[in-house]
Structure formats: structure tokens, C-alpha cells
Amino acid sequence: MSYFKTFAGSVALAVAAMSTPAVAADMIKVGAFVPEQSTGVAKVIKPWLEAVQAEAGDTVKMQPFWGGTLGKDPFKQFELVQNGVADVTWVLPGYTAGQFPEMGLFELPFFFRTAQEASTVGWKLNEMGLLTGFDGVHVVGFFAAEPNAIFMKTTVESLDGLANLKVRSAGAIQAKWLESLGAAPQTLSSAEFNEGISRGTVDGAIQGWTGMKTFKSLPLVDQAIEAPAGAIPFLLLMNERKWEGLTPELQEIVMKHGGMAFAEAGGEAYASAGAAIREEVKAEGRIAIMELSDEELAKYEEAAKPIHDEWIASTPNGQAVYDAAVKLLADMRGES
């Protein structure tokens, strides 16, 4: 009898062992609506992913989903990460109207001079608690593209020549600035801009050099006007429930490679990539590059001040955010 009890017990233990799942590594689904070769993925997000994977080892599986595998619509990326379709994804605040009110700061023309400035100031403002709208998400990183230029199919002699032309903007602040120049702003994604300019329904776009290359827009234009028409801010966001479910050790690793390190890497990547693309275009010689003189820059910067003032007045806590950014920039530039 004892033999059968022992045998039965052994079988039960064996069955229990077979039915008990092995402890699996936590999977983090990292998405982007653009291809793997885009600057933001290849030079910023993918290196972050690989660094987290290398340090965390078998405790996590960082699973990439590039090129819109989890959702192609650039206007829906914040919704995807909020809802947990993606654990982490790349969000363009300008595509999520009203969600991130303070992000309009980065669209202001003639404010940021470099991608490094915009990226670093963005993260510091977040650390200071001056950026809002992160409902249901955790901010892993902030970075920004190089300051935008204006790319035109219809060539002009100066910024004043934009009057009555249809120019793509990526946000409301850019749209208001274009209106101040007499242009007709068009709220379009980069893909929609390509279609519009091919059909002749759009004359140009506010965009960065990297964005123009990523979305294959450079062959469609004949002129680049180098006016610092704002910088496009980017966010790397994690679903809040996913973040809270990570171990403290894994959270520390994620943010070790996120945060300020991420902002600095992102700024450097976009500055370098933008400069390289510009040099390629310049060497090719097909696209005319218009550089504004110091006098012209001063003229248009002064003319843009009402856009800054309107943003400050219409944004809750806008003055505090603006003043903090001005001070941070002065410190970075050695002007304080």
C-alpha cells in the first residue's frame, strides 16, 4: 500500500512540475510608426533598447516593432501606448492636439538654435514638473530634431515670399507663424505632404533635414530656407501599468539609459544627422539652400515675438515654462 502511495505521490509531483510554467522574462514591446532606418529609431530609440537589453540580460525581452507594426497612424501613437497596445512607443506631441499644452514651446520660431538645446531643455523642464499631459504613461525620454527649415517646391526670394502659398505645418504654433507671414498653413503628416506636393496642392513644408530624408521628401522640393522655424519635440513613453509592473531594478536600468542620457544622445544624433544630410544636398547642388543674413534673422525674430507672447498668454503656466526655458538656454549658452 505504501508503495502505491509513494508512486502516486511521485506521479502527482511530476505532473505538478510539468504544469508549472517556467518563469519567463518580462517582455517590453517597443514600437515606432517609422522605419528602422529612420534617424529617431536607428540612432536614438534602438540604441536605448539595446543598452537596456544588454544590462538587464535575461530578466527582460526588449521586442522591437518598427515601421508601424503596432499601428501606423502617427496621430494615434499616444493612444496606443496609453491603451497598452505598445508598451513603449515614439510619440510626436504635435500630432496629439491639446494633450501636451507646454510642448508648443518647442514650435516657437527663433527660440532653439540646435537639437541639443531643445532636447536638453525638454528633459530638464520635465524633471522640473513643468510639462503635463502624461496621463496613463511614464516618460522614459525626451529628445528633439534639429531646428526646422522651410522646404519649398515653389521657390521664393525671402520669407515674405511665402504669402499666399500653402505650407505644411506640424502644429498650431507653426501654423500661426505661417499665417503671420501671409501663408496658408496646412496641417498634414509628412506622408500627406508628399502626396500633396506631388499633386501640386501644397507648395512647401516646415520640416527638419532628417524628417525630409526619412519620409523621402527631398526629391520633391527645389529650395530649403534655413530659418529656425521651431524644433519638433519627441517623447519616448511607456504605458503606466507596464512601468509599475517592472521590478525596481529594471526600472532603474530603463531610466539609466533614458532621462538625460537619452536627451543628450538624441540631440547629438539629430544634430549630426541633419548636418550630414544638408552637406549631401549641398554637394548634389539640385536644391537651392537659402541662408538668412544676421539682419534678416533679427528682423524675423522680432516679428515672431507676438507668436511667443500669444503662446505664453494662452498656455496655463506658460510664463513659468517660458521663463524656465529662457534661463536654461542662457546657462547652456554661457549668457547668464
135 exposure class (CB count in 10 Å sphere: 0-12, 13-18, 19+): exposed
pLDDT value for 9:
45
d(CA 140, CA 243): 10
Quick one: average pLDDT of 151-163? 95
| Residue 104 DSSP label | G
pLDDT value for 60:
97
pLDDT value for 191:
87
> Cβ atoms within 10 A of the Cβ of 56, count?
22
String of DSSP letters for 271-315: HHHHHHHHHHHHHH--SEEEE--HHHHHHHHHHTHHHHHHHHHHS
pLDDT value for 97:
81
Cell numbers given for 261: 542620457
Model confidence at 8: pLDDT above 70: no
Note whether 101 and 197 are within 8 A (CB).
Answer: no
Confidence of residue 21 (pLDDT cuts 50, 70, 90): very low
Note whether 87 and 28 are within 8 A (CB).
Answer: yes
Q: In the chain, pLDDT over 70 holds for what percent of residues?
A: 92
Torsion, Cα of 113, 118, 119, 121 (10° steps):
120
pLDDT value for 336:
62
Domains with residue ranges and CATH for the chain: 25-146+232-273 (3.40.190.170), 149-230+286-309 (3.40.190.10)
Model confidence at 13: pLDDT above 50: no
Q: What are phi and psi of 201, to 5 degrees?
A: -95, -5
Model confidence at 160: pLDDT above 90: yes
Confidence of residue 10 (pLDDT cuts 50, 70, 90): very low
d(CA 44, CA 262): 7
Number of helices and strands in the chain (H, E) = 14, 11
pLDDT tens-place string over residues 256-313: 999 999 999 999 999 999 999 999 999 999 999 999 999 999 999 999 999 999 999 9
Please state whether 285 falls in left (phi above 0), alpha (psi between -120 and 50) or beta: left
Confidence of residue 316 (pLDDT cuts 50, 70, 90): very high
pLDDT tens-place string over residues 197-235: 999 999 999 999 998 998 999 999 999 999 999 998 999
d(CA 259, CA 266): 11
Reduced to 3 states (helix: H, G, I; strand: E, B; else coil), residue 61 is: strand
Q: In the chain, pLDDT over 90 holds for what percent of residues?
A: 85
d(CA 114, CA 71): 30
